């Protein structure tokens, strides 16, 4: 199966993607994670990406598309994949179409998580992430047992550089201008499935599982 997961920043794409990956065992390809890895390794792509990400802007299409093209060519992506955070612009979506066409494959479904802005801002500005295992917490709604320590692995918790309130507002703005138009792009193709993203992680995942079981 070839899936896209979409939604504004903070909609819970990453959390659902983790669960989908575990349950259906196809690779989770997150451009955000790939950029953060490149930044940690200080590769040229990482250094370039950082200057955009820190401001809440999108990384230029050419850079992002090349990254995804390379990743989709890896053997584990042959049987299926879950793309998270890509495409984010119409140009990226058109390029994805071309890449898939070259390989005679197509997207089966686009899952769109729907969440109100106010909720998104609260979720993102309180989000904390474990440095060691990537588990996510929230300073109000999902506190760790010990302050700034991961319950799972005792790793240190940190706040993503782009998770402050100022940058979040810009990320939302960029989302509505550049990414939201993609929803009608996929709706027209009959691929879009909207899901209420404000329920519990488990309830949302149950809904996704039911939908995926039916295709
Ligand atoms: P979120 O969905 O919470 O905003 P991500 O981890 O998906 O977070 O992305 C973080 C940042 O990485 C984005 O704000 C953007 O700067 C950059 N990025 C990720 N995916 C793309 C993409 N497809 N095109 C351009 N920039 C991207
Ligand atoms: Zn941890």
Domains of the chain, CATH where assigned: 2-115+179-210 (3.40.50.300)
CB of 12 closer than 6 angstroms to any ligand 1 atom: no
* Atom of ligand 1 lying closest to residue 86 CA: 23
pLDDT average, residue stretch 111-126: 96
* Atom of ligand 1 lying closest to residue 163 CA: 3
pLDDT average, residue stretch 161-176: 94
Tokens, residue 101: 């066409």
Sheet containing strand 28-30, strands side by side: 28-30, 81-84, 2-6, 109-114, 192-196
Quickly state the pLDDT bin for 165 (edges 50, 70, 90).
confident
Number of Cβ atoms within 10 Å of the Cβ of 87? 24
pLDDT average, residue stretch 105-130: 96
Pocket test for ligand 1, best of 16, 85, 91, 175 (most atoms within 8 A of CB): 85
Q: Is the pLDDT of residue 214 over 80?
A: no
CB of 31 closer than 6 angstroms to any ligand 1 atom: yes
- Note the pLDDT of residue 215: 73
pLDDT tens digit sequence for 29-62: 999 999 999 999 999 999 999 999 999 999 999 9
pLDDT average, residue stretch 146-158: 97
Confirm whether 127 is a catalytic residue: yes
Beta strands in the chain (DSSP E): 2-6, 28-30, 81-84, 109-114, 127-130, 136-138, 157-158, 192-196
Ligand number with the minimum distance to the CA of 56? 1
CB of 53 closer than 6 angstroms to any ligand 1 atom: yes
Quickly state the pLDDT bin for 211 (edges 50, 70, 90).
very high
């Amino acid at each position: 199966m070839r899936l896209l997961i979409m939604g504004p920043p903070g909609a819970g794409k990453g959390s659902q993607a983790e669960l989908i990956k575990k349950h259906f065992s196809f690779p989770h390809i997150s451009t955000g994670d790939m950029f953060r890895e490149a930044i940690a390794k200080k590769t040229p792509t990482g250094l370039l990406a950082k200057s955009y990400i820190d401001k809440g802007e999108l990384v230029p299409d050419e850079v992002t598309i090349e990254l995804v093209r390379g990743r989709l060519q890896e053997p584990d992506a042959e049987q299926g994949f879950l793309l998270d955070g890509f495409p984010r612009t119409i140009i990226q979506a058109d390029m994805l179409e071309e890449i898939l066409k070259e390989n005679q494959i197509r997207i089966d479904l686009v899952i769109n998580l729907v969440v109100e802005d106010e909720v998104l801002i609260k979720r993102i500005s309180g989000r904390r992430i474990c440095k060691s295992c990537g588990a996510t917490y929230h300073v109000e709604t999902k506190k760790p047992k010990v302050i700034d320590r991961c319950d799972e692995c005792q790793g240190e918790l940190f706040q993503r550089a782009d998770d402050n309130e100022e940058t979040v507002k810009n990320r939302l703005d960029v989302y509505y201008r550049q990414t939201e138009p993609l929803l009608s792009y996929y709706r027209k193709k009959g691929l879009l499935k909207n899901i209420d993203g404000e329920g519990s992680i488990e309830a949302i995942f149950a809904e996704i599982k039911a939908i995926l079981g039916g295709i």
